[in-house]
Structure 1
Amino acid sequence: MAEDAFNEHRPLLFTIAYEIVGSASDAEDVLQESYLRWSAVDQESVEHARAYLVRVVTRQSLNHLRAVRARREEYVGTWLPEPIRTAPEVSEDAILAESVSMAMMLVLETLNPTERAVFVLHDVFGYTHGEIASSVGRSEVAVRQIAHRARRHVHARRRRFEPDSDAGREIVQRFLRAAATGEIQSLMDLLAPDVVQISDGGGKVVAARRPITGRADVARFVLGVIRSTTPATRAEPATYNGMPAARFVTDGVLDWLVAFEIHDGRITGLYGVRNPDKLHRTDAVLPLDRGGHGTWKP
């Protein structure tokens, strides 16, 4: 049955779509459109279902990404990817964890759609240039050149990254305790000198419009945010995009979500999503699957 074959590969297909379009909701839309196309073909004529489905999802992801690029350029404030709650095993796959991290998703956003798809398929999922060529409508030689250009671009902009771990979660807990008690020096001690704080409110809620850099400024910003919360707000530990995170919930409603980037025992990045449009589906743990053997070295 068409549905059985599609569901078998759904985690892989969702992961590819999410990494190309940068939104869980949009990735689900891509999968819905891809399933409709898959169900309309003669299943017996398809020799390799997974390869066929990857091509369909890649093409639909590219079409979707090209359609939303203009909207993202007009986005109010800083755009962050829609966060996804990830299972512990995602953090055990270093390539997968880094590829869906907030920092890497922001780097991917600076690639053009074709470069992004080629990089994701080749370096993260391990597909050959020849296999990718049929998915993006380019020759194998062109794909090889695109992959080289995209890889150079990504490596020049990638930030240091360590997947979610017990040590990382302990650092986040210490950070939250210091923020709750207003201990600015304790906060600064947990931050790297070049730490970056990025907020995404989408123009719908109060959020910093520009990134904040440096531990003194980031610490003061965090304390200001904490002071603005109500006594009913509580912080819940979680894992999002392969990173330790905290969910800030008030009266059962998720107000904002912060994912923490950690390197060498210090927090190097805080990614705060407050746009309510990106928080409505953050409770479920979404299955991710890389499937291949990517060439990228985290």
Structure 2
Amino acid sequence: MPPPFKQSFLITGLAFSAGLGLSGSCQAQSIEVPNGLPEVPHVVYPEVGLPNFTVPAGTVQQIGGDGKVIQTTQPVSTGSDSLQTLYSRAWGYQAADNASSIGVNPAALAATCQVESGCQNVYTATGSGHTITGAFQMANGTYSEEMSKALASNPGLASTITSGTAGQQDPATQAVAAAQYMKEEAMTLQAQGISNPTALDTRAMYNFGSHAGAQVAQADDSAMMSDFISSTAMSNNNISSGTTVGEWRQSTANKMGTGASAPVLQS
């Protein structure tokens, strides 16, 4: 059995340690915790003519020792708002990678996605006569044709996509066909004298077809949209009979965001 004086020393030591603990717990504390998932590194896609854009890390809350929120801050990001929308989707980075593999600027792809669906994977097909669906709103026939062209020139993409028309409802896969379509549109406009076509330049071709779209892309702002597209196409796209090309361009650019001015083809 230990001598009595050792037991007394132990009790005194415990009391002394407890005193330190109480003293330490009285100090004010302030910690910062992330609100959401931890930060992870993301690829940043350079845009010609636009500043680089990095995905925001999320909000940060400063919490006091009493558990109350003292301050909430949001990191500031710069760049294309449409690109930010694309990157906020779970499939956004893969879609951007796929577009880059084809030679299409992710910012231009994002602008198209934004105006078509708000970059939402919507299902809008209503039957065999109307198969347009997905984040990039493509018909089955156009999707299959453009996908075949993309895979023929870049076979490595096959391992990253959903095969068949099921890929229509996988936005990262549909982005391959959409980017291929945009690339062809931009190259067509280049051949017709527009040296560096933007997402807005190719928009009419994506929306109304190559022939009418190319005419709109080269028209003066004062020209009438009715000079180039049918009344049915105008009605289906909520374009009034008195709309000028300039008015259509401005309205469309507003929907596309700052990505409207992004060049389609990567340099």
If each structure's strand is expressed as a fraction of its own residues, which one has the higher value?
1
Q: TM-score when scaled to structure 1?
A: 0.27
Larger Rg: 2
Q: Which has the higher contact order (CA 8 A, sep 6+)?
A: 1
Q: TM-score when scaled to structure 2?
A: 0.29
